[in-house]
A = this chain, B = another copy of it.
């Protein structure tokens, strides 16, 4: 493992999780933020993560359901082993430095994980400035869900050491990391990032080609759209559709439970990217109207307490 010093750019939901998990797993972490205001907003997220890690580990001593794959290699840990992990979680913040400086973010850095806002101009400005300071060895990975690495490779000054490393929310529990290069990414850089993902207790999922939506959203979007269409055209209600899927495939959740977790706003934003959704007479238009109706009533999913179901 050549990677020791990791810089995470961005202190949002995912940035803070990636940084904390990396520190928990023993890496030296620098969190680069844009402004003092960003630092003020990020620090409570890190405190909250420490509490979540400590509470979850404590719960794992007595409750097998509490086990999170990102926190421990096995659900069968002794109380003493879990106490050692708790000590690691408690001390993780000691491995994290916050900085506003590109120079500090770049200094002796082995891997940059970019998790800044979904704004192409901001990403380009970040890569361009950072590239001036980075050592040659540094690999850059983007966590972007929706933008392809080939769109930004030229701004990094190291296209062969640039690729995507895409995390799921709550990475200590949902510990998958999709690894995806662009056509110029070197195998060496790709493999190093796979190894790093394993070292922070992620399960790397390797893509051999650039694919918008990676693997997961490439499967989820058509699946969820099909379910939305059945509901929007009045074929069946969401309970029946969910029950059909769960009974036939043994899955614990049907599409509308998954939609409630994903959030109806996200589903709506994906749906309206299809120009047919502008026409209320099309199936896509009916789906958009259905989702908008829920969103307008504040029923945006689990986080709002109600979506297709109540929580």
Contacts and interface: CB of A to CB of B under 8 A. Distances in A.
Contacts of A247: 174-176, 203, 205
B244 A205 contact: yes
A250 B251 contact: yes
Interface in A208-263: 208-209, 211, 215-216, 218-223, 225-227, 229-230, 233-237, 240-241, 243-245, 247-253, 255, 258
A230 B247 CA distance: 26
Contacts of A241: 215, 219
B226 A240 contact: no
A79 interface: no
B219 A178 contact: no
A290 interface: no
B251 A249 contact: yes
Contacts of A245: 215-216, 219
A289 interface: no
A205 B252 contact: no
Contacts of A244: 176, 178, 205, 215-216, 219
Contacts of A209: 233-235
The bracket for how many chain A residues form the interface is 35 or more
A206 interface: yes
Interface in A261-281: none
A235 B222 contact: no
Contacts of A234: 208-209
Interface of A: 168, 174-176, 178, 203, 205-209, 211, 215-216, 218-223, 225-227, 229-230, 233-237, 240-241, 243-245, 247-253, 255, 258
Given A222-B222, A222-B223, 10 more contacts: A176-B248, A209-B233, A215-B240, A216-B245, A218-B226, A219-B226, A219-B230, A219-B244, A249-B253, A250-B253
19 contacts: A168-B248, A174-B247, A203-B247, A205-B240, A208-B237, A211-B233, A211-B236, A215-B230, A215-B240, A215-B241, A215-B245, A216-B248, A219-B223, A219-B230, A222-B222, A222-B225, A223-B226, A249-B253, A250-B252
